[in-house]
Amino acid sequence: MKVQVARYNPETDSKPHYETYNVTVQEGARILNVLDAIHDTIDSTLGYRHCCRGGQCGSCAVRVNGEPTLACQKEAKDGDVIEPLNIPLIRDLITDIAPVIAQMAWMNTGCTYTPVTREEIENIKPLRSCIECYSCISSCPAVESSTYAGPTIMRQEQRLNLDPRDIDTERIEKAIEKGLFSCTTCRKCVEVCPKKIDTPKKAVEKLREVAVRKGLALPAHKSLAKLIEDTGRSVDKIEKTFLEMVPDVIEPDGPVRATVGFFVGCVINGRNPQTALDAIEVLKRNGIRVIIPKTQVCCGSPLIRTGFTGFIPELQERNIKAFEDIDTVITICAGCGSTLKNDYTTPFRVADITEYLVEIGYEIPGKIKGTFTYHDPCHLLRGQGIKDQPRQIIRDMVENFVDMPARCCGAGGGVKSGQPDEAAKIGKIRAEMVKKTGADTVVTVCPFCGLHLHQVTGLPTMNIVSLMYEGYRKK
Amino acid sequence: MLNCHVLIIGSGGAGIRAAIEAESSGSVIIVSKTITGKGGCTVMAEGGINAVLKEEDSTQIHFEDTMKGGAYLNDETLVQTLVTDSPKRIQDLFNWGAVFDEDEMNRIAQRPFGGQRFPRTCYAGDHTGHEIVMTLLERLRGSKVQILDEITVVDLLVGNDGVYGAITVDRNGKFDYITADAVVLATGGAGQLYSVTTNSTAGTGDGYALGYRAGAKLIDMEEVQFHPTGAVYPIDSRGRLITEAVRGEGGILRNKNGERFMECYDPERKELSTRDVVARAIATEILEGRGTPNGGVYLDVTHLPREQIETRLPIMLEQFLTYGVDIREQMIEVAPTAHHFMGGLQINTDAATTIPRLFAAGEVSGGVHGGNRLGGNALAETQVFGTKAGISAGKCSPQKITPDTALIAKLEEKVNEWMNGTLPIAEARKQLKLLMWNKVGIYRNELDLKVAKRDLAVLREKTLKISSRMEIADAFITENMMMVASLVIEGALLRKESRGAHCRTDIKQSWTPDKSPFGHTWFQKEKRGIEIREENL
């Protein structure tokens, strides 16, 4: 088996370089077995950490083909590229984790005996399985672009916050100091976590809730929350909204293949109604009858991400009631879709428009000239597990499609409104990736990503429905 | 050069517990050849920790279970300390934030484990050791203890008044001293002497070698527990622990014919017999041709409710899914694997070794578990004797001794020899591990042991080969492993009986363990022997 390994000796190298090794390993060998084979038979100076070899100590995390993983768990494949975590480097695959460890909060127990109920224990458990491998720190876009201490640091703060034995009264203040408002809730940390700990949902958003209760929320988030509570919408009204432009029911061209409800998010409704109108045209063209209840309101995503959850039950009730007799509700915004799917218990099915169209079959639009790339909205990719459908749609209809790996644009989780500098920094890294594709248009399925990417790249951005409608018009 | 009041060597459950306890006595340094908390076997321990917490149970029964399980080779005073203090240490952990599973009455939940007459094993799913280490780390990080990661201790400093510190080597091969008023060894066991083991790669028995070279007495080094259930596939993860909790939750052992063979070996306790009995039963099934194609037997949990497996054995489920086996639907293949060293540095109930100012806690010490350790007693031992060692070390009087610089010069000579050596470290370890597995395993006989002794001597005559200073620590560790292996072999030759985990197929004996004429085997300086229990002669 041939692999490449990043090597670095601070005494002789100015920067890491890659060495190719050809080793013989057993069937089913893990990355760690490959590293052992290199160390034992080719170069005994190779530096790498390992200990329990069973995925329990977290020592051996490295990046394989760019993605953090435990070397002892990941099966090795010919051609793998093995690199250290994206944490300051000491030598070869050994990183300097001491500063990270120093950020990890400890329990302030006082000296009295505090009973803990089974229910409390069960609540803490999901945050307790962390093995401190720091894969999440390595891959967190906010850590790279701000002073954010990182996902597992927040996990630990919330673990302590949930524990009645912890008597620290400034847990939230400490969490804020360590960057509580820096998390974009992109969920990359969940994706790479060997224990699949849901830090954004179970720690960051919960800590933000406490921050709100303590009056420590960011001013921008407070005013946004007020706007939603006053108007049911997260953007103020400056022009005619989509919902004011359309009838309650729109019949398709030709025979009716299906009927769906249409959920329009605040940004599209209030700022880009044309996107929603394009979506309606796409659905019509594919024989889908569209019902658009006018009583629908904001999905609540901005509130949940920033900790203002007090108003959520009312939003949930209003939206569920608005769509109550409908089987399937379509979204064209990743954030709305993810929220309706994950933060609601709906009596109807929620589907992203790309997911739905690919599922029931759609007419392939006419060819569009130019070079296009696709940006995965985090709340579509990791929030809804939708990766291939948008790519399939775009690939089939554009002259030139250049794919790029997913990475958060920096806009989500209240970061663009609350900490715009950080959002811009994360966006700048994403802009570089976009530039590398040579694309002249970026396609996505989230108005917020679209707006932010347009600002950081200077390129036109398009919701996938608008691209599709343009293709149909070309026919 | 660093100086402190108490120096703790090793950062598993016992080491961190000792550091926490010693903190109030003065400056404390904890030094670890790995990252603190990640290196020891505590973090890998899955099943649980024993403590008498309920009125229906009693420390007397825990004592009797432990003595019986240990084939009456245990030191009674140490067992008494273990069973008496364990409940207090559980309470410490709980007070410090441990997230143990609780029952419906909000009490710490307990489950049955092998060889025990009462369900007294407390647990956190099947990651109890991890939970304990995380709790201890939360405590340690809030303390003033100085933590030194990735520093390997190569020798203890010994003067006229006992131990006064240690010589260390760092990641880059630089030697240094740490002087101290007292030293605690908490370096764990030596499962890595075997090619098939549950131990982390740090389980190389350094503390046995350090203590032995310093002149301390070791006992019962031949008593090596083979855990009955280690993984057999994939080949590279052979030996990985399949927790006893799988059997505790109701797992059934079957041979290739589907027969529940434990009914023949221990009809009463079956799968929950003691580990030595279950390990030998599995080994016999395999040796006699009733094993699986991969050389194991089956451990079956497919009859258990899926939810029970998912909530009580989540790590097992997850680990096997990684290898493409769904234990909710498929049987697990298992075989014995080197697990725990019952022997080690002889200590008293204050965790003091036989030389002044040197203390030992956890697997590096001997005497608590006798000839065979009960599941759940190792984690208890780390907490009980870690605490004792921390207290005792803290009480040592101040001393000020400046180490002789010639000591490091002497080590540099050794490094020079290694730089010109012939035997690569990886090769030495490979040969050692195979030798120990093949000749000094579950079943032993004099001929095999003598061959092992001769082959090991040949291996030790060669000079290890290193090509950079970054390998110095590994070379010291490899020499430690070979020295410890020699003690295991000598102990196995000395103990002419089957007792606990030590099984001599070439010896017919007429006594049961409680009537054995033998006591501890012992090793000190160049002397060795086996104690005679005159009352049983």
Which of B378, B283, B334, B314 has its CA nearest to residue B125?
B314
CB contact under 8 A, B200 and A51: yes
pLDDT of residue B461 exceeding 90: yes
For B247-281, the three-class secondary structure string (H helix, E strand, C coil) is HHCCCEEECCCCCCCHHHHCCCCHHHCCHHHHHHH
Q: Look at residue B439 in the predicted model and tell me its pLDDT.
A: 97
Q: Look at residue B349 in the predicted model and tell me its pLDDT.
A: 98
Q: What is the mean pLDDT of residues B477-489?
A: 98
Alpha carbon A281 to chain centroid, angstroms: 29
- By three-state DSSP, how is residue B245 classified? helix
Nearest CA in chain B to A49: B34
CB contact under 8 A, B102 and A116: yes
CB contact under 8 A, A163 and B467: no
What ipTM did this prediction achieve?
0.92
CB contact under 8 A, B138 and A27: no
pLDDT of residue A111 exceeding 80: no
Q: What is the mean pLDDT of residues A189-193?
A: 97
For chain A, the three-class secondary structure string (H helix, E strand, C coil) is CEEEEEECCCCCCCCCEEEEEECCCCCCCEHHHHHHHHHHHCCCCCCCCCCCCCCCCCCCEEEECCEEEECCCCECCCCCEEECCCCCEEECCEECCHHHHHCCCCCCCCCCCCCCCHHHHHHHHHHCCCCCCCHHHHHCHHHHHCCCCCHHHHHHHHHHHCCCCCCCCCHHHHHHHCCHHHCCCCCHHHHHCCCCCCHHHHHHHHHHHHHHHCCCCCHHHHHHHHHHHHHCCCCCCCCCCHHHHCCCEECCCCCCCEEEEEECCHHHHHCCHHHHHHHHHHHHHCCEEEECCCCCCCCCHHHHHHCCHHHHHHHHHHHHHHCCCCCEEEECCHHHHHHHHHCCCCCCEEEEHHHHHHHHCCCCCCCEEEEEEECCCHHHHHHHCCCHHHHHHHHHHEEEECCCCCCCCCCCCCHHHHCHHHHHHHHHHHHHHHHHHCCCEEEECCHHHHHHHHHHHCCCEEEHHHHHHHHHHHC
Q: Which of B238, B247, B280, B340 is catalytic?
A: B247
Mean pLDDT score of chain B, rounded to an integer?
95
Nearest CA in chain A to B466: A44
Nearest CA in chain B to A109: B96
Mean pLDDT score of chain A, rounded to an integer?
96
Q: Which of residues 57-76 of A touch B (CB under 8 A)?
A: 57-59, 73
Q: What is the mean pLDDT of residues A97-106?
A: 93
pLDDT of residue A110 exceeding 80: no
Kind of pairing between the strands at B218-219 and B110-111: unpaired
Q: Which of B227, B312, B328, B499 is catalytic?
A: B227
Kind of pairing between the strands at B365-366 and B344-346: parallel
Quote helix, strand, coil % in chain B, to nearest 5: 40, 20, 40
Q: Look at residue B491 in the predicted model and tell me its pLDDT.
A: 98
Q: What is the mean pLDDT of residues B502-531?
A: 96
Q: How close is the nearest chain A Cα to the Cα of B485, in Å? A: 21
Of all residues in chain B, what percent carry a pLDDT higher than 70? 100
Which residue from A41, A55, A117 is facing B319, i.e. has the nearest CB? A55
User: B-chain residues within 8 Å CB-CB of A132?
Assistant: 37-38
Q: Look at residue A113 in the predicted model and tell me its pLDDT.
A: 77
Dmax (CA) of chain A: 76
Nearest CA in chain A to B33: A51
Chain A interface disruption, residue of B236, B313, B427, most A CBs within 10 A: B236
- Predicted confidence (pLDDT) per residue in B336-350, tens digit: 999 999 999 999 999
Q: What is the mean pLDDT of residues A98-109?
A: 92
Active site residue B247: yes
- Predicted confidence (pLDDT) per residue in A383-399, tens digit: 999 999 999 999 999 99
Q: How close is the nearest chain A Cα to the Cα of B126, in Å? A: 11
Q: How close is the nearest chain A Cα to the Cα of B275, in Å? A: 21
Q: Higher pLDDT residue, B275 or B448?
A: B448
Q: What is the mean pLDDT of residues A454-464?
A: 97
Q: Look at residue B225 in the predicted model and tell me its pLDDT.
A: 96
Q: Look at residue A394 in the predicted model and tell me its pLDDT.
A: 98
How many alpha carbons fall within 13 Å on the CB side of residue B133? 28
Q: What is the mean pLDDT of residues B421-441?
A: 96
Which residue from A28, A57, A160 is facing B44, i.e. has the nearest CB? A57
Q: CB within 8 A of B259, min separation 6: which ones?
A: B290
Active site residue B227: yes
Q: How close is the nearest chain B Cα to the Cα of A42, in Å? A: 11
Q: How confident is the model at residue A268 (pLDDT cuts 50, 70, 90)?
A: very high
> Which two three-digit tokens encode residue B219?
């006992």
Q: How confident is the model at residue B420 (pLDDT cuts 50, 70, 90)?
A: very high
- Predicted confidence (pLDDT) per residue in B146-205, tens digit: 999 999 999 999 999 999 999 999 999 999 999 999 999 999 999 999 999 999 999 999
CB contact under 8 A, B141 and A41: no
- Predicted confidence (pLDDT) per residue in A169-181, tens digit: 999 999 999 999 9
Q: What is the mean pLDDT of residues B404-424?
A: 95
Of all residues in chain A, what percent carry a pLDDT higher than 90? 96
Which residue from A29, A51, A98 is facing B202, i.e. has the nearest CB? A51
Which residue from A53, A73, A106 is facing B142, i.e. has the nearest CB? A106
CB contact under 8 A, B426 and A50: no
Q: State the count of interchain CB pairs (< 8 A) between A and B.
A: 136
Q: Look at residue A450 in the predicted model and tell me its pLDDT.
A: 96
pLDDT of residue A4 exceeding 90: yes
Q: How confident is the model at residue A57 (pLDDT cuts 50, 70, 90)?
A: very high
pLDDT of residue B86 exceeding 80: yes
- Predicted confidence (pLDDT) per residue in A320-342, tens digit: 999 998 999 999 999 999 999 99
Q: How close is the nearest chain A Cα to the Cα of B416, in Å? A: 17
pLDDT of residue B234 exceeding 90: no
